[in-house]
């Protein structure tokens, strides 16, 4: 994923958020986000705002709230009244924050994943990436991945709780504060089974 300032992003994700740096070069850094290997690259011009989510232990949501509040401000809903989000139809709880590039990041406790239970809080891996498109239904059909929960012509997750592409219509406001609209970004994903997906961000 692209960043406007690689050193700033590296320091944020390693020193503040506690991710492990695995390797780096003049224009990239590879981080361990739980089971995910996450590569950040220097990008010019700066990339558009992205959305991604990290799975966390489903039994430690309260601990996650305290952990995150000690590091960054929690991102509130558009009306400013809510920072803890109960997604009953997803059987999950979530909190949001922004990174130095303004990306909207999420910690989500998915209660349908009892295997994610832990004795202490940790980030388990990246489980969501926003994919912005001009044609959500057409992109869903092209990907050939199963729909996750009920969506709409402007919003449709595909995949499962351990790996979701969140397909959203271009210019749809990003949840939860609705301050930024969704725009395409370039990224690539390789799954544990070797399947790969990439988007040029055009």
Q: Is the pLDDT of residue 198 over 80?
A: no
Q: Where are the beta strands (DSSP E) in 111-169?
A: 125-133, 155-160, 163-169
CA 87 to chain centre: 16
Give the pLDDT score at 202.
63
Residue 191 — pLDDT band, cuts 50, 70, 90?
confident
Q: Is the pLDDT of residue 133 over 70?
A: yes
The predicted-structure confidence for 54-108, as pLDDT tens digits, reads as follows 999 999 999 999 999 999 999 999 999 999 999 999 999 999 999 999 999 999 9
Mean pLDDT of 16-27: 96
- Domain 49-193 has what CATH class? alpha beta
| H/E element, 138 | helix 136-143
Q: What is the pTM of this model?
A: 0.94
Residue 51's nearest CA partner among 114, 10, 96 is 96
Q: Where are the beta strands (DSSP E) in the chain?
A: 2-3, 20-25, 28-33, 36-42, 51-56, 85-87, 92-98, 104-110, 125-133, 155-160, 163-169, 187-190, 196-199
Give the pLDDT score at 7.
97
Q: Domain extents for the chain?
A: 49-193
Residue 28 — pLDDT band, cuts 50, 70, 90?
very high
Give the pLDDT score at 187.
79
Mean pLDDT of the chain: 94
- Judge contact between 95 and 65, C-beta under 8 A: yes
């Amino acid at each position: 994923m692209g960043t406007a300032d690689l050193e700033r992003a590296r320091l944020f994700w390693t020193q503040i958020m506690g991710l492990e740096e695995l390797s780096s070069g003049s224009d990239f850094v590879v981080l361990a986000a739980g089971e995910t290997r996450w590569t950040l690259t220097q990008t010019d011009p700066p990339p558009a705002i992205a959305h991604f989510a990290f799975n966390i232990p489903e039994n430690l949501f309260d601990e996650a709230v305290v952990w995150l509040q000690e590091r960054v401000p929690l991102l509130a809903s558009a009306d400013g009244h809510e920072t803890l989000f109960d997604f009953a139809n997803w059987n999950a709880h979530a909190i949001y924050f922004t990174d130095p590039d303004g990306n909207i990041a999420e910690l989500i406790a998915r209660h349908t994943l009892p295997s994610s239970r832990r004795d202490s809080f940790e980030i388990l891996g990246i489980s969501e990436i926003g994919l912005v498109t001009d044609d959500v239904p057409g992109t869903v059909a092209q990907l050939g991945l199963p729909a996750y929960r009920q969506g709409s012509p402007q919003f449709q997750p595909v995949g499962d709780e351990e790996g979701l592409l969140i397909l959203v219509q271009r210019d749809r406001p990003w949840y939860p504060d609705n301050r930024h609209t969704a725009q395409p970004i370039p990224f690539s994903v390789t799954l544990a089974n070797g399947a790969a997906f990439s988007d040029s961000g055009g």
